[in-house]
Structure 1
Amino acid sequence: MSSVNKSAHPFDKGRLEALLSRRFFYAPAFEIYGGVAGLYDYGPSGSALQANIIAEWRKHFIVEEGMLELDTTIMTPASVFETSGHVARFADWMVKDVKTGDVIRADHLVKNVLEARLAGDKEARGQAAVSTKEDEKDKKKKKKAAKVTAVKLDDDVVKTYESTLAQLDNFSGPELGELCRKFNIKNPDTDNEVSEPQEFNLMFASSIGPTGQHPGYLRPETAQGHFLNFSRLLDYNNGRIPFASAQIGRSFRNEISPRAGLLRVREFTMAEIEHFVDPEDKSHPRFKEVQDVVLVLLNRHVQSSGSTGSIKMSIGEAVAKGIIANQTLAYFMARIYLYLLKIGIDPDRLRFRQHMANEMAHYATDCWDAEIHNSSGWVECVGCADRAAYDLTVHSAKTGHPLVVREALKQPIVTEKEVPEFDKKILGKTFKQEAGLIQKHVESLDEAALLRLKEEIAKGSTAIIIDGKTFEITPELLRIERRTFKQSTREYTPNVVEPSFGLGRILYSLLEHTYWSREQDIERGVLSLPPVVAPTKVLIVPLSSKEEFDPLVREVSSKLRRAGIFSRVDDSNTSIGKRYARNDELGTPYGVTIDFASVQNRTMTLRERDTMDQRIGSIDEVIATVTDLVEGNIDWAEACRRLPAYDGVQAVD
């Protein structure tokens, strides 16, 4: 899109939310029944926007990377999540208002109270000056919502609060309780004390079958479906590693206190990738293509020191310095960054934050979150984790199904080792039911222990001790011989690098990043959505409702459809300016106007949303130009070189 000054008015979240509600991007589910916190329905524009975000995700990752797409079941037997560790560890810490019983997520309580106090300190120090009545009104509203009181804090207290907030994700439940006591943190809604933090598992429990004999859960992530189908995926990929599987689908988390719109919901759409890789080789064949991509990085050591200072660094340098663990993890971080920019996220409000030790998921060895800044602060929207071999290992151990790769070696590996051989007839006759215990013990010995045992047996009988009991072993019972083995295949459990996208959070952040209002019409907003994700690409505006316009409107609509361009016709009786303005609210990037000259001369004007600039050309020229614009083949500057400016005099009455 063309550049345009969007800073005429400061961002107004209230106006954005009013627009999204009024134009039905999304709304609380079951609203006429009073609604349920954390559940939302998407309207026409919101559904189309999400579908376009998903379509671009599919192109950017599945198509570009040649991934294997899955669609696995949502309802999952409890045994799967017991094995994966979710039943025991997929939890957040919550506190209760000791008088009302209201439940609050502990880390959010600490964060909101300390941030409100810091905001009050800035207010008291005169660092939050207001310049207009509108700003002052908005400021008072925000102060009330955040319980901000203008109180100056000691400099040491300010530093302590800032350091605590920088490390907040690293605190355990008991440590959060200690912070509440240390800083006298209460429920800001009631000013009541809160209880000690308690763990709350976030999964929705259910049951499978008419009698409920099979306990189950709604999945909190799509990942387990990838791991359980690994053998089939590997076979589909002709037994070759590396490869990636991908899935877009619904997940469910029983959030403690969902109060931030689409940023914290109980049902949401995820897009997840599981990239299976050789644990001994985590290089990526396409790493050179992204090694110069520069990211804003906030590593775990900086956070642990109580700071939030980030650095800009190329992906290549970050891997070379060991800041990012390996090429594959770094490659996907770069690809995540490029995807988010492509759909319209502001690069100046995007960073990658590394997880600290205590916040790391039980399955991860390293993890970076793509965090997007919006009116709620920095919000995790994409996680990129190295899950090592955890999931495949635990599921294989539980089920006995080998979730491994068997790789033919180009050069066979020849090894020699000591091998114990029992005379099972004599062993069984001598030790009866304990024979198996002895055999298992000896076979578990390492090379050095077997050599010592071999030397002792060569001298005569020897004793071995198992669980405090002594057994006499003679040469007739056991021989230990050195043998040569030729290994033609290598068997290993692959590691997994997982990028996981919360699409609702990305969608909402995108709406904030692209929202603005014109100086001459502050009440009517504009969504500068990129054409690739905009719900409607082109608005068709006939200047008149006369029947003579109908054939041309049908022709333009048909040609745009054949070009794969989604368009809408607005032939209402309102002025053309109002018609364009209300579609600017929907993020429609282009509009074409059919006037009386169009009927006579087969010309048509093309309008660009952000600048309101208009060009003119023949119908086919305009359709070809707008098609190239929507597909990203040209920008608005090139469109202006193709089509002359519209001076407003071509129309014939």
Structure 2
Amino acid sequence: QIFNELFKTIIGPYAEHAGYCRPETAQGMFVNFKRLYDFARGRLPFGAAQVGRCLRNEISPRQGPIRLREFTIMEFEFFFNPKNSECVKLREVEGEKIRLLTEGLIRRRVEEPVEVTVNEALDKGYIKAEWNAYFMARAKQFLNELGVPDENQYFREKLPSERAHYSAQTYDQVVKLSRWGYVEVSGHAWRTDYDLRMHMAYSGEDLRVYLPYAKPKRVKRKRLKLNKVELGKAFKDKASLILRLLELTPAEEVAEALTSEGVYRLRGNGETYEIKPSHVSVAEEEIEEKGERILPSVVEPSFGLDRMLYVTLEYAYSEKEERVVLKLPKDLAPIEAAVFPLMTKDGLPERAREIHQNLLSQGFNVEYDEGGSIGRRYARMDEAGTPYTITIDYQTIEDGTVTLRDRDTWKQVRVKTEKLPQILRSLLKGEMGFERAGVLL
């Protein structure tokens, strides 16, 4: 049974004004492509990113935040010239190893991914677009930073029958979870120029970009001659759409398909239409050109924020001596440090509050806590994922040093109060190892 995952709703008071809740954020970026291209100062390549809520009418929502009807998605549309598709940043990741379960492996029923470098993946044709390979490598590194090791993540290629209609190639990034097994957390689709082409066909707005030549040149170009009568007979009410789509299709592409296969398969509106020699003919002419108009190609890294949060929390969760320690990445921890007076007397709380206020004034997210024993306070902050705790004791009154404690190792060092902000900032940025922060206790 065919089931539409789009949520249908009524716009305004009239039932005939139907609308659909967005299943992705991408289309807003395609609709506004001309404005975005202007913001990019008329240059390719460039990217646009958006974070937002989406809705899909899932048949069976389950597995907590893994499968939801309402969720948050992070999408990046990267536009580049298909005639100059070289990724200028590829050198940064060309040696990065990624694990791929390719279409070929899946068809041979192989379950173990192959590990290759980004360069090898491109040379062997596992990944078709350089920019897609670049963003896949960055996505793998991103998961590493969230605590997921290489062996617990890989990219699975979607089979043609599984791919969305707009995609020429899609890889899903999957992560191993203790309860749910391997779960998709991001998708990496090469959407070609499909979306811009469809918006042009339906709106009549020219979304092509003009690329001037260094100097005019005479070139031979193929041109399509459309047989509107035959197209009308063959496609009836869809003929006008197909006419617009053919006007946007390179004549060389159509000519090659007609010569080699006797038919050109035109994609549009989620369907495929067979264009035959009776529908079109190809003529060649010589013209002078000062530039050319092209539709940019697009790669799209898309991340599920809810699933990413779940993954981060699972890989951060640990237990030590029957206590929970949430080893969140330091730049994600909501509380960066906590300040404790060892005792609630003898001027220790007053000095602790001074240090707390000083750290707040310098932009740190810092908590103050004087309730319960010092061990109980350490345990509370470990469970909250706070990377560092600062204890003010009687030695602080004597020599101006404090005890700085590391969440992950429970090691402690003595640090001079005046150096505390600088040391804390270096630790949070990963610029300094903990044992170099002060005198180890």
* Fold match (TM-score > 0.5): yes
| 1:348 partner letter | E
Q: Deviations over 1:303-346 (max 9, x none)?
A: 12212111111101111111111211111111111222123223
Question: Structure 1: how far apart are the matches of 2:358 and 2:65?
Answer: 36
Question: Structure 2: how far apart are the matches of 1:511 and 1:346?
Answer: 14
Question: Structure 1: how far apart are the matches of 2:291 and 2:182?
Answer: 48
| 2:193 partner letter | A
Listed as ranges, the matches of 1:490-509 within 5 Å are: 490-509=292-311
Tell me if 1:302 matches 2:105: yes
Question: Structure 1: how far apart are the matches of 2:369 and 2:15?
Answer: 53
| 1:613 partner letter | K
Q: 1:236 aligns with which of 39, 46, 65?
A: 39
CA contact (8 A) 1:605 1:622 kept: no
Q: Deviations over 1:614-650 (max 9, x none)?
A: 11121122332121111222232xxx1341123xxxx
Listed as ranges, the matches of 1:469-480 within 5 Å are: none
The residue number in structure 2 matching 1:338 is 141
Q: Deviations over 1:210-263 (max 9, x none)?
A: 335532122111000000000111122122111111111111122211120111
Q: 1:397 aligns with which of 187, 191, 201?
A: 201
CA shift at 1:590, angstroms? 0.9
The residue number in structure 2 matching 1:605 is 403
Change (3 A) 1:306 1:484: closer
What stretches of structure 1 move > 4 A for 4+ residues in a row?
Answer: 416-419
- SS of the residue corresponding to residue 104 of structure 2 reads helix
Tell me if 1:286 matches 2:89: yes
Tell me if 1:542 matches 2:345: no
What's the RMSD between the two structures over aligned residues? Answer: 2.4
Tell me if 1:528 matches 2:327: yes
Question: Structure 1: how far apart are the matches of 2:34 and 2:346?
Answer: 63
Change (3 A) 1:366 1:592: same
Change (3 A) 1:526 1:281: same
CA shift at 1:585, angstroms? 1.3
CA shift at 1:484, angstroms? 5.3
Listed as ranges, the matches of 1:635-646 within 5 Å are: 635-636=433-434, 640-646=435-441
Q: Deviations over 1:478-516 (max 9, x none)?
A: xxxx98521112111111100000011111112111212
CA shift at 1:412, angstroms? 2.2
Q: Deviations over 1:195-214 (max 9, x none)?
A: xxx23222222222233553
The residue number in structure 2 matching 1:552 is 351
Question: Structure 2: how far apart are the matches of 1:418 and 1:370?
Answer: 41
Tell me if 1:626 matches 2:430: no
Tell me if 1:616 matches 2:414: yes
- SS of the residue corresponding to residue 299 of structure 2 reads strand
Question: Structure 1: how far apart are the matches of 2:429 and 2:307?
Answer: 25
| 1:595 partner letter | D
Question: Structure 2: how far apart are the matches of 1:199 and 1:527?
Answer: 44
Change (3 A) 1:362 1:618: same
Change (3 A) 1:358 1:517: same
Change (3 A) 1:417 1:644: closer
Change (3 A) 1:561 1:418: closer
Q: Deviations over 1:568-588 (max 9, x none)?
A: 11221x211111112211111
| 1:210 partner letter | P
Question: Structure 2: how far apart are the matches of 1:533 and 1:611?
Answer: 18
The residue number in structure 2 matching 1:514 is 316
The residue number in structure 1 matching 2:153 is 350
Which range moved further: 598-607 or 354-363? Answer: 598-607
Change (3 A) 1:416 1:364: closer
Q: 1:415 aligns with which of 204, 207, 219?
A: 219
- SS of the residue corresponding to residue 383 of structure 1 reads strand
- SS of the residue corresponding to residue 141 of structure 2 reads helix
- SS of the residue corresponding to residue 200 of structure 1 reads coil
The residue number in structure 2 matching 1:364 is 167
CA contact (8 A) 2:129 2:190 kept: no
CA shift at 1:418, angstroms? 10
CA contact (8 A) 1:527 1:584 kept: yes
Larger helix share, 1 or 2: 1
Listed as ranges, the matches of 1:122-521 within 5 Å are: 198-375=1-178, 376-415=180-219, 485-518=287-320, 520-521=321-322
The residue number in structure 1 matching 2:365 is 566
Larger Rg: 1
Q: Give the structure, 1 or 2, with the largest relative contact order (CA under 8 Å, sep 6 or more).
A: 1
Question: Structure 2: how far apart are the matches of 1:272 and 1:641?
Answer: 40
CA shift at 1:531, angstroms? 0.5
Q: Give identity over the alignment, percent.
A: 38
Larger strand share, 1 or 2: 2
Question: Structure 2: how far apart are the matches of 1:324 and 1:565?
Answer: 43
| 1:630 partner letter | L
CA shift at 1:565, angstroms? 2.1
Question: Structure 2: how far apart are the matches of 1:387 and 1:531?
Answer: 35
Change (3 A) 1:354 1:238: same
* TM-score, with length taken from structure 1: 0.56
CA contact (8 A) 2:85 2:130 kept: yes
| 2:392 partner letter | I
Q: What is the aligned residue count?
A: 387
- SS of the residue corresponding to residue 148 of structure 2 reads coil
Question: Structure 2: how far apart are the matches of 1:628 and 1:278?
Answer: 41
- SS of the residue corresponding to residue 516 of structure 1 reads strand
Q: Deviations over 1:436-483 (max 9, x none)?
A: xxxx9xxx9x99x9xxxxxxxxxxxxxxxxx9xxxxxxxxxxxxxx98
Change (3 A) 1:287 1:417: closer
Change (3 A) 1:277 1:606: same
- SS of the residue corresponding to residue 439 of structure 2 reads coil
Question: Structure 2: how far apart are the matches of 1:589 and 1:483?
Answer: 69
| 1:565 partner letter | F
Change (3 A) 1:290 1:214: same
CA shift at 1:416, angstroms? 5.8
- SS of the residue corresponding to residue 161 of structure 2 reads helix
Change (3 A) 1:563 1:293: farther
Question: Structure 2: how far apart are the matches of 1:346 and 1:567?
Answer: 30
